[in-house]
């Protein structure tokens, strides 16, 4: 007896689900093999650790006091430490105690980087720090740690850098390019013949070319394989860029921006242009970081108003909020304000964020203060050894994660 078309259809085996089942089973099997394959010992076995650790939020945690913590990766004898940051040599009372606090992220650990392993892993690599003196703080931290394990070093100024060093045995170069605003700027005086700014009553100030990089680092993207940028402190510096006596006057395409714009708007435009410039000029395969703002800890007034930072231990979470909450419009809110502009600017770029702000906000105890050799307390830069060493640990953890991600 003949079967109907409907009966024949019912007896056919549905092949698509079967193929799908076989396909996914194969994928699962291959993945299980990759998980059990031992990682090669090269790169001091960071690959396996980073695959899991990078799921952690390293910015969320607390500082833990460890009285038995081993000494820093370098000491106060490192000659590259700027005198005002050498708190041990400068006699800061709690200079040694600063080193006994360890940043502990919630749910994971921040491993200290291995200087010798780093030199091995990043042979034939150029690394540039571009920014203000806080990036120099960080640059010196890395240099001193590497210098302690490798003494064959050449000092020079690559690609217009303020200072730089090559570790000759590894052909690893690190350099610091000083720039306050990232963009080119200089003194401006009114033209006696008049002009657009002159017609608005401007007599002097600082010309800021939003679309031209500062010459100190313009060649850095084509030289370095890895770049770490920062900017911010000079954008909120009325003692330098007074809004009336010495305002920032922004230019684009060689012409003044009319009507004139305030510094926060200028910062947004500069970031847009500089990010585009770096992405266009960077060496193929280059890795780009933007470090978030380093917090200041002035209490009782700003640096020129008698402000100080004499605390002997890290702040509590409540104290951090009081000191840095933007709504409080206090002396130190600059860091969170700058970060708002920075995060918007890099949102759709290929830059990676190195977020050091929150973990640093706790460390009101770790600035040179009155041991910095200035007429006022230095509550902006950091003691070395000190907090920037933790920034370096975090930076290298992220860098390794990017390098070994594939």
The residue count for the chain: 406
Find the helix packing angle between 133-147 and 387-403, rounded to 10°.
Answer: 80
Residue 22 phi/psi, 5° resolution?
A: -65, -40
Q: What is the mean pLDDT of residues 164-176?
A: 98
Nearest of 114, 146, 113, 112 to residue 127 by alpha carbon: 146
Q: What is the pLDDT of residues 132-158, one digit of tens each?
A: 999 999 999 999 999 999 999 999 999
**Residue 54 banded pLDDT, cuts 50, 70, 90:** low
254 has pLDDT over 50: yes
Task: Please give the mean pLDDT across all residues of the chain.
Answer: 87
Question: Distance (Å, rounded) from C-alpha 121 to C-alpha 117?
Answer: 6
Q: What is the DSSP string of 264-303?
A: HHHHHHHHHHHHHHHHHHSPTT-EEEEEPPPPP--BSS-G
Check: CB of residue 175 under 8 Å from CB of residue 164: yes
- Which of 9-23, 85-99, 122-136, 196-210 has the least mean pLDDT? 9-23
Q: For position 71, what pLDDT does the model report?
A: 65
**Residue 406 banded pLDDT, cuts 50, 70, 90:** low
Question: Distance (Å, rounded) from C-alpha 267 to C-alpha 285?
Answer: 27
Find the helix packing angle between 334-346 and 263-281, rounded to 10°.
Answer: 40
Two tokens, residue 219: 């060649």
Residues 6+ apart with CB under 8 A from 192: none
Q: What is the mean pLDDT of residues 65-82?
A: 89
- Would you give the distance in Å from CA 374 to the centre of its chain? 26
**Residue 375 banded pLDDT, cuts 50, 70, 90:** confident
**Residue 17 banded pLDDT, cuts 50, 70, 90:** very low
Question: Distance (Å, rounded) from C-alpha 227 to C-alpha 219?
Answer: 12
Q: What is the mean pLDDT of residues 253-259?
A: 98
Question: Distance (Å, rounded) from C-alpha 135 to C-alpha 290?
Answer: 11
Measured CA to CA in angstroms, residue 353 lies from 3, 141, 290, 402 at distances of: 68, 19, 5, 12
Q: For position 403, what pLDDT does the model report?
A: 87
Q: For position 402, what pLDDT does the model report?
A: 93
Question: Where would I find the H helices in 12-157?
Answer: 15-36, 46-53, 95-98, 115-121, 133-147
The structure's pTM equals 0.85
Q: What is the mean pLDDT of residues 161-167?
A: 98
Q: What is the DSSP letter of 252?
A: E
Two tokens, residue 397: 């953890």
Question: Distance (Å, rounded) from C-alpha 70 to C-alpha 54?
Answer: 25
371 has pLDDT over 70: yes
Two tokens, residue 148: 């302690």
More confident residue, 71 or 288: 288
Measured CA to CA in angstroms, residue 95 lies from 65, 81, 211, 242 at distances of: 14, 14, 42, 35
Q: What is the pLDDT of residues 394-404, one digit of tens each?
A: 999 999 999 88
Output the CA angle 225-384-151, nearest 5 degrees. 60
Q: For position 160, what pLDDT does the model report?
A: 95
Check: CB of residue 387 under 8 Å from CB of residue 74: no
Find the helix packing angle between 46-53 and 387-403, rounded to 10°.
Answer: 100
More confident residue, 164 or 51: 164
**Residue 237 banded pLDDT, cuts 50, 70, 90:** confident
10 Å Cβ neighbour count for 35? 9
Two tokens, residue 28: 């699962």
25 has pLDDT over 60: no
341 has pLDDT over 70: yes
Q: For position 214, what pLDDT does the model report?
A: 98
Question: Distance (Å, rounded) from C-alpha 91 to C-alpha 104?
Answer: 28
Half-sphere exposure of 315 (CA within 13 A, CB side): 23
- Which of 161-170, 300-309, 360-369 has the least mean pLDDT? 300-309
């Amino acid at each position: 007896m003949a079967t109907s078309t409907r009966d024949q259809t019912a007896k056919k085996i549905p092949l698509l689900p079967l193929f799908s089942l076989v396909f996914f089973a194969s994928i699962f099997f291959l993945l299980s093999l990759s998980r059990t394959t031992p990682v090669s010992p090269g790169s001091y076995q960071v690959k396996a650790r980073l695959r899991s650790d990078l799921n952690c939020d390293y910015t969320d945690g607390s500082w833990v006091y460890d009285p038995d913590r081993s000494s820093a990766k370098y000491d106060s004898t490192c000659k590259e430490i700027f005198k005002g940051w050498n708190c041990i040599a400068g006699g800061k009372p709690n200079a040694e105690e600063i080193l006994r606090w360890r940043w502990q992220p919630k749910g994971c650990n921040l491993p200290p980087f291995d200087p010798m392993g780093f030199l091995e892993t990043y042979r034939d690599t150029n690394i540039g720090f571009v920014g203000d003196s806080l990036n120099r703080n960080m640059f010196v931290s890395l240099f001193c740690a590497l210098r302690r394990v490798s003494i064959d070093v050449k000092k020079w100024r690559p690609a217009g850098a303020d200072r730089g060093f090559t570790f000759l045995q590894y052909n690893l170069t690190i350099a610091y390019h000083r720039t306050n605003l990232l963009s080119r700027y200089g003194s401006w005086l009114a033209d006696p013949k008049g002009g657009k700014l002159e017609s608005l009553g401007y007599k002097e100030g600082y010309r800021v070319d939003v679309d031209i990089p500062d010459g100190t680092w313009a060649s850095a993207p084509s030289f370095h394989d890895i770049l770490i940028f920062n900017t911010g402190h000079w954008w909120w510096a009325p003692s330098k860029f007074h809004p009336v006596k010495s305002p920032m006057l922004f230019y684009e395409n060689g012409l003044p921006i009319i009507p004139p714009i305030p510094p926060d708007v200028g910062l947004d435009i500069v970031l847009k242009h500089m990010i585009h410039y770096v992405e266009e000029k960077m060496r193929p395969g280059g890795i780009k970081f933007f470090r978030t703002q380093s917090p200041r800890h002035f209490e009782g007034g700003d640096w020129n108003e008698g402000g100080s930072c004499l605390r002997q231990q890290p702040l509590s979470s409540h104290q951090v909020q009081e000191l840095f909450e933007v709504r409080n419009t206090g002396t130190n809110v600059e860091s969170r304000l700058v970060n708002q502009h920075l995060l918007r600017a890099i949102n759709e770029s290929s830059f990676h964020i190195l977020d050091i702000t929150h973990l640093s906000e706790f460390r009101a105890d770790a600035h040179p203060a009155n041991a910095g050799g200035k007429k006022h307390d230095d509550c902006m830069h950091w003691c070395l050894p000190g907090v920037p060493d933790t920034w370096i640990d975090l930076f290298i953890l992220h860098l390794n994660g990017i390098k070994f991600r594939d």
